[in-house]
Amino acid sequence: MGLSIGVLILSVFLPCRAGEVKLSDAEIDVKLMLLKPLPKIHYYWPPFPDLLETRDSRRLYELARITHSLCVSGEWCNKKQVDNCVYICARLNKSNPAVKASLGVNFTPWTKKFGKDLPPTDRGPTYFEELRWFDERARLIKNWVDESNRIYGSDIKITAVTLDCERFAIKANDELWNEGIRQALDAAHTKMLSLFPDARIEWYNRGVDSVERGNGWDKSIIWTGREIKTSLSYPAYRVPEIELTREHFRRTCKLADQMNISDVTPWVALASGDRRGLKKTYFDCDWDYDIIYSYLIGAELNISWYGERPERFAPYNRVKVVIFYPPPFDKRVPEWGKHFIAYVRGATAVKDLKDLGYEEPCNKTKNNL
């Protein structure tokens, strides 16, 4: 009797699933073509080179149309990739001016030339070698963009530089060490701003850390809090834990208020993220969680109705842009395309997920308890 009641109770709360859906590349591409553009511009970690190097890729074209951007790595992209991105954005903007597609460039400062075992206070030759290397790469990309714009008669701009530096961690009661971090991070920021003066400078995880470090919610340890002011950010890496995701955003907004900063940028993990284990949380690149959560985070981050009800959801109207990590169609994240389609449908209020394997929760047995 007890077992049957337990089974019955579970049947009330578990959703009725249409079965696991695996979409082919062709099916994904067809569904991408039917999606509306996102209400807000979305940048992302640079896709794999094979996608960027396919000039006539319909998928790359649709990615630009939907997100309003194409993004490249400042560290390893080549002229062909940049030229393809400018070409696609120019073609898109000519045929659909409302999209206004632009470019994003990603860098990971203090991981290329700076000595791997050096403290953040070091100002030896590799410190300056790192800055020179970033300067050379950034100028090279700018020149490639300018050259492609001349060829296509376009004016595609670099509108965002996304930066991720997890090379250093602050130390309690070590002001010299922490000041070295601040100076190094600000040097990279200043360099990027001087080369891309019209671009947003977006840093990863400049906000509040999740509850599993130290004594709970606290400022993330990869920055000091005294750096050049820009938007704050947080990793939205637990999309299925919707209330934790909201609280993470609220707490980061509270920190932003204390610093007189208005914008807060989520870095969103689709079909992947920080998954709980018995002993620790780990980042899982192949996490095909319930598709409804990708739909919901898309809706909450993009539709103003949710941001206008911060007590119920979170103050999401402070989100001006969104950044995806892992990158689009990452080979390590096999279900990214399916969850991206759900995200965009949520963001554009298209209430249909059946073709992605979702059905509304069953309630047929609730009156039989």
pLDDT of residue 211: 60
So what's the pLDDT on residue 215? 63
pTM given for the model: 0.92
Structure confidence at residue 328 (pLDDT): 98
Instruction: Please identify every stretch of the chain with a pLDDT value under 70, giving residue numbers as ranges.
Output: 1-19, 211-215, 362-369
pLDDT of res. 362: 66
The per-residue pLDDT for range 175-213, each reduced to its tens digit, is 999 999 999 999 999 999 999 999 999 999 999 987 655
Q: In this predicted structure, what is the pLDDT of residue 217?
A: 86
Q: What is the pLDDT of residue 214?
A: 58
Strand partners, 102: 69
Q: What pLDDT is stored for residue 75 in this prediction?
A: 96
Per residue in 135-185, pLDDT (tens digit) is 999 999 999 999 999 999 999 999 999 999 999 999 999 999 999 999 999
